[in-house]
Structure 1
Amino acid sequence: MHVLILGGTTEGRRLAETLDADGVRVTSSLAGRVASPKPLPGEVRVGGFGGADGLARWVREHQVDAVIDATHPFAGTISFNAARAAVTSHVPLLALRRPGWTPVEGDDWHPVASLEEAARTVGRLGRRVFLTTGRMGLAAFADVPGVWFLVRSVDPPEPPYPERMEVLLDRGPFTPAGEREVLRTYGIDVLVTKDSGGAATAPKLAAAREAGVPVVIVRRPPVPDGVPVAATVGEAAAWVAARAR
């Protein structure tokens, strides 16, 4: 059985490891946005497919039996391309999505629908913003007046980005103590994040709650209609096993 994992997440990596150990042929596809990704078991391809038609063609040419969309919850374009490609190539598709975060007592969350809405919101809440939405969407914050940004990303960002900005190059998982230190050292009074879920980057939410720092949180886009969803690697592996049988 040949499984194509649209990866780039911790869950995608763990699923590739699990399936490879079970003797399943795995190809992990990475977008190529991280300069030095960690090694993966099985086969690896990097780069886009050329839209839904290109993905469907690749699936047919490489005799893929199942596709698992284990991309980041905010990688909306590839998810919808995968849904269309699965239909045209008649291959089953599963979305592997870690659950989103849930606010608890003491949280001061300000949910927004987009990075653009987040940019319009931060100036009303503070002046020193910890921006943890990655390096790809910084253009939305480029023209926010009177705000200084601390931008954390794995690789250096490219313009356009905010004029008043410092870059913190780092890769999760992060610790509560480390996140508390970041907020204290840089005098952060607003945190901006996407609702990516998972434990690797959740400590920043606890640190913000303890410090009384408001959080602007971008809601995740929905999974395409009709695509089944697995919340864990175990559920996804069981789905593959069922297809193999």
Structure 2
Amino acid sequence: MHMNGPMNISRTERLQTCNEIASRLHEVYGEKILAIGVYGSVSRGTDGPFSDIEMFCVLSESNESIDFSYEWSAGPWKAEVNVCSADVLLKTASTVEGDWPLTHGPFFSQLCLYDPKGFFPRLKEAAESPTKEDFRRAIHEVLVGEMYEFVGKLRNVSLNGPHTYLPYLAVEFAQYGAMLVGLHNQKLFSTGSMVLPEALKLPSRPEGFDNVVQMVMSGELAKPSKVVSACDNFWNGLVKWAAEHNYSINSKRFPF
């Protein structure tokens, strides 16, 4: 039977494609290239038969900062190549955002295809440089920018509907709750598909978090009252957790 989209490809074939992409990058960018590496499941050796390819192409620093991506499907496989100048990539690696537990794994480990000047060890050092206060700021941003907003939407929906929005909200509660747990523990998740089960294994989880995550992972999101109760309980647990760890949710009336 003909199959559209991703095809079953062996790891050997996928690595060969990575090397072909690297050769093409050398043809296009020549001496500007500082390093080339593979990240994601391919670099970890956990890629499946339908996994895509994700790569860094790092260019030497110049007067112009460069940051863009090639992303394409060649038919049986898909690839993404992030082309960045070294300064851009180092700055990104040293910055803590709310999704840090999911996005920063590539900065700590790559499958190196080309790195004659030792850039990737520098990249890892940059990724290890954020301070505890950097993580606190990111946690505050998630608490206020995401979780506080979600609970407002939850309470609006519980009063006025539509209840069809509740499953989506439950997923958001679980996902961003996992980001908070990862940030608090300064722990990276291995991949997007493992965020929730790996978060359940981390210490210092807010009360109510586990229940919401279990509901999401099991798909038991059909009863509106159950979803509202679980998410509201998690929010209450989150407020308590924030106070215990001195994370701020509320500020003075006007912070400026």
- Greater per-residue helix proportion: 2
- Higher RCO (CA-CA < 8 Å; seq separation 6+): 1
Q: Which TM-score tier does this pair reach, normalised by the shorter chain?
A: under 0.3
Scaled by the length of structure 1, the TM-score of the pair is 0.27
Scaled by the length of structure 2, the TM-score of the pair is 0.26
- Greater per-residue strand proportion: 1
Q: Which has the larger radius of gyration?
A: 2
